[in-house]
Structure 1
Amino acid sequence: MISGYNPLDTLPPSADDEIKSQELLKVLNEQNTFESDQRMEHRKHVLTRIEEIIQLWVLEIYEEKFKIKASQKLGTFAKLYTFGSYRLGVCTPLDDIDTSCICPEYVDRRADFFTRFPSRLEEQKGIELVINVPNAFVPHIKVFIEGIWMDISFANLNQASIPENLNIFDDNIFFSFDQLSLRSLNGCYVEDAIMRLVPQAETFRTSLRFVKLWARKRGIYGNIYGFLGGISWTILTAFVCILYPTASPSRIVFRFFFLYENRKWDKQAVTLFSQKEQNKQIIDYTLRRNQYIDRIQLEEKMNQDQKPGNIASEINQQENRNKEADQEIGTKIRRQLGNRYCTCSSFNVQTQACIQIK
């Protein structure tokens, strides 16, 4: 997949860029933005355990509804897909794990998943809390298991069983999902597209970690608070990586604040595809697949426009009022990155700047 944009700069990183990128990494380590190898293994263990619980639960539903022993049934009972920071490879110790559980057609969303499954989870050792959130835009169950929060959404595959080699990115499989299921899987589709578009995965990840750290320190992170959420910051960062495909992380962050500092958000959307490419593939893609996947257009607008595709439509007026103050902090970071004598401590001063409520 290509973005359709011509790079603005393809010069390799200078020695100074590399030094500043190392300073950037120091900040990220000092701010505890990396999960340890041991904790990552624990996350994998938790995911495996949840998938096993789901498999056994769906097996029982199958036997109950069809009065047939599960050994007579071919195929897999369920699949668990991840998305969000875990899938992107940028999760922090405090991040939850976003997942989508794909079940066969005989598992009912409301009667089974949102009514019976929470009780099954509450019976499991190590699960301390289960919260049903069936009326959210993406309905899900929140689970606190072995010290980690997980969000489990539900996707119904219109087939009698789940193929062992299920590929949710295959068009034939895609059309086997209903609209709510596609909404649950939307994060997987969007993030897969992003990772195929960014030229340097590790540069993108390091840059995104810093941008998210800055947004959190400024108190402007999270859809539920009326601010840009994780996917929004991800798109904005990926856009800069596409325009500067050979840049180092420090240069990407510099360009991030430079590019967005004076952007006219009411007129200029950010999309990872040029208009030409949208006409050729993306619009066709979204029309064929349906409105819930229109985030594949990766559009970002800092206004109150509620049209489909605008994943920043929930931004509140408080963020708009604070935008100038936040841009000022971003400008200071950009100037530090442009300063030959930039140090790790100077980054910390800016990322930990106090939030000013106006």
Structure 2
Amino acid sequence: MLPSQGLSKNLGLTKPISLTAPTETDYIRNNQLQKFLEDAGLYENSEDASKSQHVLGRIREIVKDWVKQLTRLRGYPDQIFKDANAVIFTFGSYHLEVHCPADDIEMLCVGPSYVNQEDLDISAVSVLYGVDKPSVVTLNGCRVADLIPKLVPNVEATGFLGDASWALLVARVCQLYPNDIPCMLVRHFFRVYTQWRWPNPVLLCAIEDDELGLSVWDPRKNPRDRTHHMPIITPAYPCMNSSYNVSDSTLRVMREQFQFGNKICEEIELNKSQWKDLFEPCMFFKSYKNYLQLDMVAADADDLRAWKGWVESQLIKLTLMRKEGEVIQQGQQFDIRGTIDEFRHSVNMYILWKPGMDIYVSHVRREQIPCYAFPDGYKPSRAPRLQQRKQSSHIDHGGSSGSASAGRQLNKEFDEANVQGSVEKCEYRASPQDP
């Protein structure tokens, strides 16, 4: 899709930063980016797209038949049985058409015992009437995905990153640079968020209130909203912060990665780097000296699957349990046994715990990591990308960067201080039988 010349409507809260049209060089770089993404297998071919549509259609039929069966079994009149229906909405990356071939399709089924004959408009506020709070949150996933394309000019699939927060960040850049083609949006994305003054919120449109009285993101009224470090506000009512769980430390990592991406994009403009350099995998198991290893066991495969899912859902707490705002100085010693004990307590709250479900937490050094944890089953000898870039560039770590996982942030804290010897010698076992 070619950029429109002269937008008649401003889609964001502010005027665009630039209306500059792409140059011939931009189109060349854009073709290079598209070829790289195609070669990486990130585009869904027509056959896969047709299969997805077939699966969605079949699911809609199954859900509709299921609702009708329930309506008949519960003794509703014939007319209600005739009108009984269920509606399937997609959201997330599939709805935004930025999904990869192997991605899941996120779906929401709106299926009470019966529904109105008229089509249900998911973007209308009326859909929230009489709905409990958990359902409001679920419905908003679809409503946000439905609104993003309407609030972004010249929608290009390669301009989105996937998850809701990243899609909202990209959408805001699309508003600020409405005539950009994808390669320009990538460059401006990193430039904008390298300079963004958090916790100023990212907004696609004004925050609206409604007679429903549902809570919306408003730091003036809600004390909890004032503690958010990186507010990225959803555009659908009730407006929420999609990144409420970002901590001060993870925001620092994201800022660092924004700066890293910005530097690579600048090098691409100068023909000193290629697109593959921006997408080069991070050698996680070569980037740090110390790691926490979690071993989970259960009586059988089904129990292990459930237990593993629960433990993984609690991992974020392992980093958030670190005292927020605590500054770790180089060479400073700290003891994480209390943090691990808190994590154990959190894991022990699993209401579906069964005998045999245990977790072991231990400290391992980089050289102890087994080969199977690395790509192709062997440890690379070259220095990790992150360390190479830090040596060749001057990054302001006072306001660093990124979207790091819970494990990555804890490892970062490990390497910024000397872990007390008692921690690396201990193995922590967590199960409801522990004292």
Question: How far, CA to CA, are the matches of 2:149 and 2:32 in structure 1?
Answer: 25
Does the alignment pair 1:270 with 2:270? no
Cα RMSD between the aligned structures?
Answer: 3.1
Q: Paired residue for 2:209? A: 284
Deviations 1:226-249 (A, max 9, x none): xxxx11100110001001111111
Q: 8 Å contact 1:13–1:247 — kept in the other structure? A: yes
Distance 1:169 1:6, change over 3 A: same
Deviations 1:327-350 (A, max 9, x none): 3431233213422x367xx21122
Q: Paired residue for 2:54? A: 45
Q: Paired residue for 2:153? A: 199
Alignment partner of 1:82: what SS? strand
Does the alignment pair 1:12 with 2:21? yes
The Cα shift of 1:13 comes to 1.0
Distance 1:261 1:302, change over 3 A: farther
Deviations 1:130-158 (A, max 9, x none): xxxxxxxxxxxxxxxxxxxxxxxxxxxxx
User: Which amino acid in 1 is paired with 2:83?
Assistant: G
> Which of these residues, 100, 103, 106, is aligned with residue 111 of structure 2?
103
Q: Paired residue for 2:280? A: 352
Q: 8 Å contact 1:182–1:293 — kept in the other structure? A: no
> Which of these residues, 184, 193, 199, is aligned with residue 251 of structure 1?
184
User: Which amino acid in 1 is paired with 2:58?
Assistant: R
TM-score by length of 2: 0.55
User: Which amino acid in 1 is paired with 2:208?
Assistant: I
Q: 8 Å contact 1:3–1:197 — kept in the other structure? A: yes
Summarize the alignment of residues 1-358 of structure 1 with structure 2, pairs less than 5 Å apart.
2-66=11-75, 68=77, 73-104=81-112, 106=113, 160-202=114-156, 205-209=157-161, 230-265=163-198, 267-273=199-205, 278=206, 282-285=207-210, 288=212, 290-291=214-215, 303=229, 309-316=240-247, 319-320=250-251, 322-323=253-254, 325-339=256-270, 341=271, 346-354=274-282, 355=284, 356-357=287-288, 358=412
Deviations 1:143-194 (A, max 9, x none): xxxxxxxxxxxxxxxxx42425222233444425333322221122112221
User: Which amino acid in 2 is paired with 1:166?
Assistant: L
- Range with greater deviation from structure 2 (92-101 or 1-10): 1-10
Distance 1:191 1:334, change over 3 A: same
- Range with greater deviation from structure 2 (163-172 or 178-187): 163-172
Aligned length: 266
Q: 8 Å contact 2:160–2:166 — kept in the other structure? A: yes
Distance 1:164 1:42, change over 3 A: farther
Question: How far, CA to CA, are the matches of 1:19 and 1:342 in structure 2?
Answer: 15
Alignment partner of 2:109: what SS? strand
Question: How far, CA to CA, are the matches of 2:244 and 2:104 in structure 1?
Answer: 24
Question: How far, CA to CA, are the matches of 2:172 and 2:232 in structure 1?
Answer: 22
**Residue ranges of structure 1 left out of the alignment (5+ in a row):** 107-159, 213-229
Question: How far, CA to CA, are the matches of 1:171 and 1:262 in structure 2?
Answer: 35
Alignment partner of 1:101: what SS? strand
Question: How far, CA to CA, are the matches of 2:22 and 2:232 in structure 1?
Answer: 40
The Cα shift of 1:72 comes to 6.3
User: Which amino acid in 2 is paired with 1:2?
Assistant: L
The Cα shift of 1:292 comes to 7.0
Q: Paired residue for 2:317? A: none
Distance 1:324 1:232, change over 3 A: closer
Distance 1:250 1:176, change over 3 A: same
The Cα shift of 1:321 comes to 5.0
Question: How far, CA to CA, are the matches of 2:110 and 2:16 in structure 1?
Answer: 38
The Cα shift of 1:31 comes to 1.9
Q: 8 Å contact 2:90–2:108 — kept in the other structure? A: yes
Distance 1:88 1:171, change over 3 A: same
Distance 1:261 1:4, change over 3 A: closer
TM-score by length of 1: 0.66
- Range with greater deviation from structure 2 (80-89 or 24-33): 24-33
Distance 1:56 1:293, change over 3 A: farther
